[in-house]
Amino acid sequence: MTATIPLRERSAPLVLRRSRPWVGLMAAAVALQIAFRSVATFPAELDTWLSEPIDRAGAWMRENRLVHPLFTEFLTPISRFVGGIIERFTDFLLWAPWFVVIALVALLPLSRRKWSATAVVVGGFVYIGVFDLWEPSMETLALMSASVLLAVVIGLPIGVLAATRPRVETAIRPALDAMQTIPAFVYFLPLFMLLGIGDVPAAVTTVIYALPPVVRLTTLGIKQVPTAAVEASTMFGASSLQTMLKVQLPMAVRTIVTGMSQTVMMALGIVVLATLIGAGGLGSPIYESLNQRRAGRGLAAGFAIVAIAMILDRLARAAAERDPTRRLPWRVTAGIAGGIAAALVAGRAAGITAFPAVWDWAAWDPVDNGVAWIRDNLRDQTRWLNDTTVTWVYLPLRDLLTDTIVWPVIVVAVGWVGWRLRSWRLGVFAATAVASMGLLGTWEPAIETLVQVVISTVLALTLAIPLGVWAGRNRRIQAALSPILDTLQTMPAFVYVIPFVVWFTVGVVPGIIATVAYAMVPGVAITALGIREVPAESIEASQTFGATPRQTMFGVRIPLAAPTIMTAVNQVIMMALAMQIIAGTVGGAGLGYLVYEALQRSNFGQGFEAGLALVLMAMVLDRFTESVADRLRPPTGH
């Protein structure tokens, strides 16, 4: 008779094998903690002094901007070209009568019989004009139009090439990943040095930041064109170019337009930040509202940016309309265009250009008064929340990572996590990236930023995941939340900060709370998407076996949606990192403040060090969350 080994004895070796990595990590941590207990923070003498050569490079650029061929023969012509496009857009929008601008922009959706889109376009412009924001809005619209046009002109051919040449797609993928991972404001410093201040570096930053969606979705759209359609075109003798222009691009146009819409949304996020490098437009009144602590006025300008986003989005979707039966007869469209031309001549002859003043920002004074009332009447509660957050959460975490745990332990622990999540390569990369933050002389600011990001992410996910699950299960909740989420996603991040600065004064807490409000939006949307996309057969199987709705939720829906939820976590973290420079403008410590200070003082070396450290942090957190999502993804084998 065969002896039976007890389950406890059989499982013991497995437990030992699984515990060995943890034992090794703890042993290494204890040894390093003892060996480096006298140098908890990263030694300042290991700083590579990257800032000094960059400061010298910045000084050289300022001195040679007007004489060196790098500028006169290359960068200056590019700057003039981009600046000329923006200037032409701006001049026309401010030269034409306001009703002509509205009619001209509304003509595209109107010609496609998209009545609701036409109403949105007209309503958005009317809002802008009624609240005396016409001129800055036209400047922003010009900057946005030029930037999106350049992004499409550059990104569309690259996307087509990537779709038809797999090697090209493989080659550009790391660059696209980096462009989406790097916070937008990190681009400001090198472009500030190369192109100076104003709209041009803002437009180039917008193009760089907003290019990946166009490239990726163009590639995706062309790849999704049915093979049968391509083969039929080839059989009828069409060349590769003819097949691309007459079959693949027309059939992929909806996906490409989705990329353009994403480009618009991403580009609008830079409008206010561009104010820091001298760009005009709606960013200026929002930044002034922050300085004056006028939340109502900031909200007014923020809604103007939302209106511009909605206008550009509806234009892109109308341009993608391929159904000829929905279009107005060409004679009707031509007649409307002729009427617009006549109105242009009449308006210019009468000297009518700007929208007639109806109200001004004073209409938003009730919002300012409400914010002030909360500040004055809930002072004890806001002070308690501020002091509790700083004293019991922020400072203990910061001190733990800077004064208690020595820096080699953190480096080794991060490397160990990367190894356990994916591979030794990720572990080496993560450990090197963290050590590099110290070598850049930004160890303590990086820790301060990490603590703020962790606190903000935990709070944002605590709100976002339950809301996302609720919206994913209930279509009415989803429909109710959708316009709110769209508005919150489009609203400039600076607007979030203003009321919290009034309530809590400057410091870490306003930045954290504003980051939570800003970063939770993609968390809700992506979590809801993951819950909705759980296969119906899995849910039906669970219900067949008698599972309650609660058991189905926690046993089926959430586990199957876990990879998508991890994508939501990733996006929340990226949004939290993107908020760091804005948190820095209101007294938040860390890398964001160093970048903001560098922009204000033209301290390029410090800005490069802080920006590079922030990029390294973003890359490590992005790879970690991506690895967790991959581990949660169910196997695809048959």
| Secondary structure of 492-526 in HEC code, one letter for each residue | CHHHHHHHHHHHHCCCHHHHHHHHHHHHHHHHHHH
Task: Name the residue type at position 548.
Answer: T
Round to whole Å and give the CA distance between 373 and 406.
Answer: 46
Q: What is the pLDDT of residues 469-478, one digit of tens each?
A: 999 888 888 8
Comparing 1-15, 150-164, 304-318, the range with the smallest average pLDDT is 1-15
pLDDT confidence of residue 180? 67
Note whether 317 and 99 are within 8 A (CB): no
Q: Is the pLDDT of residue 501 over 80?
A: yes
Average pLDDT, stretch 107-130?
A: 89
What is the SS3 string spanning 69-128? HHHHHHHHHHHHHHHHHHHHHHHHHHHCCHHHHHHHHHHHHHHCCCHHHHHHHHHHHHHH
Tokens representing residue 147 in the block: 């930037």
pLDDT confidence of residue 183? 66
Comparing 6-15, 306-315, 428-437, 561-570, the range with the smallest average pLDDT is 6-15
**C-alpha dist (Å) from residue 620 to 10, 83, 431, 584, 592:** 38, 36, 9, 22, 17
Note whether 214 and 151 are within 8 A (CB): yes
Q: Is the pLDDT of residue 503 over 50?
A: yes
Q: Is the pLDDT of residue 17 over 70?
A: no
Tokens representing residue 425 in the block: 């390569």
* Residue 624 is assigned to a structural domain of this protein: yes
Comparing 69-78, 109-118, 270-279, the range with the smallest average pLDDT is 270-279
Q: What share of the chain is helix, strand, coil (3-state, %, to 5)?
A: 85, 0, 15
pLDDT confidence of residue 1? 46
Q: Is the pLDDT of residue 625 over 60?
A: yes
Q: What is the pLDDT of residues 198-253, one digit of tens each?
A: 788 888 888 887 788 788 878 877 887 777 777 787 787 777 777 777 777 777 77
Q: Is the pLDDT of residue 7 over 70?
A: no
Q: What is the pLDDT of residues 556-609, one digit of tens each?
A: 888 888 888 888 898 899 889 888 888 888 888 889 888 888 877 777 788 888
What is the SS3 string spanning 447-470? HHHHHHHHHHHHHHHHHHHHHHHH
Confidence bin at 637 (pLDDT 50/70/90): very low
Q: What is the mean pLDDT of the chain?
A: 83
Q: What is the pLDDT of residues 279-311, one digit of tens each?
A: 778 888 888 888 888 888 888 888 888 888 888
Question: pTM for this one?
Answer: 0.82
Comparing 209-218, 320-329, 517-526, the range with the smallest average pLDDT is 320-329
Q: What is the pLDDT of residues 327-360, one digit of tens each?
A: 788 888 888 889 989 998 998 888 888 888 777 7
Average pLDDT, stretch 526-535?
A: 85
pLDDT confidence of residue 175? 81
Task: For the chain, give the percent of residues with pLDDT over 90.
Answer: 17
* Residue 580 is assigned to a structural domain of this protein: yes
* Residue 604 is assigned to a structural domain of this protein: yes
Comparing 43-47, 350-354, 530-534, 546-550, the range with the smallest average pLDDT is 43-47
Q: What is the pLDDT of residues 99-111, one digit of tens each?
A: 999 999 998 888 8
Q: Which range of residues forms the domain containing residue 624?
A: 444-638
Comparing 225-239, 421-435, 608-622, the range with the smallest average pLDDT is 225-239
CATH of the domain at 565: 1.10.3720.10
Confidence bin at 44 (pLDDT 50/70/90): low
Average pLDDT, stretch 177-197?
A: 74
* Residue 505 is assigned to a structural domain of this protein: yes
Q: Which position has the higher pLDDT, 232 or 138?
A: 138
* Residue 486 is assigned to a structural domain of this protein: yes
* Residue 489 is assigned to a structural domain of this protein: yes
* Residue 591 is assigned to a structural domain of this protein: yes
Domain count, the chain: 1
How does DSSP classify residue 586? T
Q: What is the CA radius of gyration of the chain?
A: 27
* Residue 630 is assigned to a structural domain of this protein: yes
Confidence bin at 464 (pLDDT 50/70/90): very high
